[in-house]
Amino acid sequence: MNIQKKITYCMATALLVVGSTAAQAVPIIYMGEDLGLGESTRLTSHPNADAAQSSFLSHLTGVGIEGFEGFANGAGAPLAVSFGAAGTATLNGTGSVNEVISGTNGFGRYPVHGNKYWDASGVFSLDFSAPVASFGFFGIDIGDFNGQVTATTVSGTSTLYNIGNGTNIAGGSVLYWGLIDVHDPFTSLTFGNTAGSVDFFGFDDFTIGSVAQTDETIPEPATLALMALGLAGIGFAKRKTSQ
């Protein structure tokens, strides 16, 4: 995947549907990715990811962000995470808190902010104490071994999202991905890894928002069409009914 494509879809993106009624029900996706410079190099800036986070946060009020700074290095699941007024969550599955004060961990992973992040391969999940309408995170060193991150939300139905990160790229990349779905709040979110245990990913600054904390305003279809013309590479979202 070339650099131009990365720059093209760095801004906030929305899933396009036809008809004003449908436009008020479709989830909104925010995605930005900055290519890495190799496994030993920490990006000193990540403007594309930061722009996606800023757009995502502009629709939220008073939400909590978990950067893992309050947890001991090496702490593993289950991990109780607090998001302030948005509630709490239990982090289950694979992974652990890792501390990297400068540079990288030697394999391309590092915190985006602070000194700690969640380091994982395989599957892990967040089970929320109350339904949430929004979720966002930074992902580090994703795609250098061709793995892609997936996110599955569960409410009355199960929805699978492919984050759409680049593959076969240099290590040390940084991306931001955010989801807003006020019409179908979810009680859990599970991360998957298409490369299984081969590719390890870093995660930082998990953010959740309740329905009350999330602005449900969605651009009109005409606005969405203009955005679609100028943006490419959006990760797909496929909705399916739970078995």
Q: Which pLDDT score, from 0 to 100, does residue 195 have?
A: 74
The beta-carbon contacts of 223-228 under 8 Å, at least 24 apart in sequence, are: 224/14, 224/16, 224/17, 224/23, 225/16, 227/13, 227/14, 227/16, 228/16
Residue with tokens 């309740």: 210
Token pair in block for residue 60 = 């939220």
Q: Which pLDDT score, from 0 to 100, does residue 241 have?
A: 40
Q: Which pLDDT score, from 0 to 100, does residue 109 have?
A: 97
What is the rounded CA–CA span in Å between residue 137 and residue 188? 15
21 contact partners, CB below 8 Å, separation of at least 6: none
Q: Which pLDDT score, from 0 to 100, does residue 148 have?
A: 86
By residue count, the chain amounts to: 243
Q: Which pLDDT score, from 0 to 100, does residue 176 have?
A: 98
Looking at the DSSP bridge assignments, the partners of residue 136 are 178, 207
Q: Which pLDDT score, from 0 to 100, does residue 15 have?
A: 37
Count CA atoms closer than 13 A to 93's CA, side-chain side: 18
Q: Which pLDDT score, from 0 to 100, does residue 218 have?
A: 52
Range of the domain at 89: 3-240
Nearest CA to 104 out of 48, 64, 49, 144 is that of 144
Q: Which pLDDT score, from 0 to 100, does residue 85 have?
A: 87
Q: What is the pTM of this model?
A: 0.81
Element (H or E) spanning 229, and its range? helix 221-230
Contact 106, 123 (CB under 8 A): no
Look up residue 11 and give its amino acid.
Answer: M
Q: Which pLDDT score, from 0 to 100, does residue 150 have?
A: 92
Q: State the sign of the Cα–Cα–Cα–Cα dihedral 213, 241, 24, 177.
A: positive
Q: pLDDT tens, position by position, for the chain (243 residues)?
A: 434 334 333 333 433 333 333 344 689 999 999 999 999 999 999 999 999 999 999 999 998 899 999 999 999 999 999 998 889 999 999 999 999 999 999 999 999 999 999 999 879 999 999 999 999 999 999 988 877 889 999 998 899 999 989 888 999 999 999 999 999 999 999 999 887 667 789 999 999 999 999 986 655 433 343 344 344 334 444 444 444
Number of domains into which the chain is organized: 1
Which domain CATH number covers 155?
2.60.120
